[in-house]
Structure 1
Amino acid sequence: MAVITKFVVVREGVEKMTFTSKKEADAYDKMLDIADNLVPFITSAELEIDENSVEKLAFYLASNKDELANLLKGVVKPKPVANKAATKKTNKKAPTE
C-alpha cells in the first residue's frame, strides 16, 4: 500500500487545486492572493467589465506576474527570430532533359 501526501489549496471552503509538493501549493496560494488583490484594482478603473471577466483578467495577470512585472519595469522581451532555413527561398531549377 502506498502513502501519498497531498497539499490542497482551499479558498472559502472550496478546493481549488491539489499538489504533491508544499512549495507548489504555496506558490499557487500566493498567486490566488495576488489575483484577489487585483480584482478591486481592476474594478476601480471603471472600464465596465463584467465581474467574471475581471476575475479572469486578475487570474491571468497574477499567473503571469513575472512577465507583467518586467513589462511594468520597461523590460521588453526580445521577439523570437524566425528560422532562416524555413523562410529562405530555394531556387531550384527543373531538371533538363
Structure 2
Amino acid sequence: MAVKALWQCDRDGKMFTSKKEADAHDQMLELAEAISTAIEENVPGIESDKLDDIGRLIARNKDLFAKAFKGKASELANLDFAEPVDDNDKVAKLTKVG
C-alpha cells in the first residue's frame, strides 16, 4: 500500500496534496473572512450566508478585482465563483444532509 502525504486546511478541513496548495487555500479563506467582516460592519442587514459568498467571491478572484480597481472594470466579466469539488466535499455534504 502506498503512502500519500496530505495537508489539511485548518479553517474548513479540505485536504490537499501539496503544502503550497493548502497554504494558498487557507490564505484565500482568511482574506474571505476579513472581507465578509468588513462588509458586515459597513453594510448592515446582509444574511450571513450571503456575506460568506461575497467574501469568497472577492478573495477567490482577487487578481481580477485588483485589475478592475486599476481601471480595467471589464476584467470583472471573467469572475469565477466555481468552488473546486472533490470526493471529500461530496462525502461531507452527504453526511451533513443525512
Identity of aligned residues (%): 35
Aligned residue pairs: how many?
75
Alignment partner for residue 37 of structure 1, among 34, 39, 45?
A: 34
Q: How high is the TM-score relative to the length of structure 2? A: 0.68
Q: Structure 1, residues 4-53: CA drift from partner, whole Å, max 9, x if none?
A: 00010012xx51x1100111111101001101110121113325211110
- Runs of 4+ in structure 1 deviating by more than 6 angstroms, as ranges, are none
**Could you say what the CA RMSD is over the residues aligned between the two structures, in angstroms?**
1.7
**What residue in structure 2 maps to residue 6 of structure 1?**
6
Rg larger in 1 or in 2? Answer: 1
Structure 1 stretches of 5 or more lacking a match? 80-97
1:58-95 CA deviation, whole Å, 9 max, x = no partner? Answer: 01110111101111111244x8xxxxxxxxxxxxxxxx
Q: Which has the higher contact order (CA 8 A, sep 6+)?
A: 2
Unaligned runs of 5+ in 2: 78-98
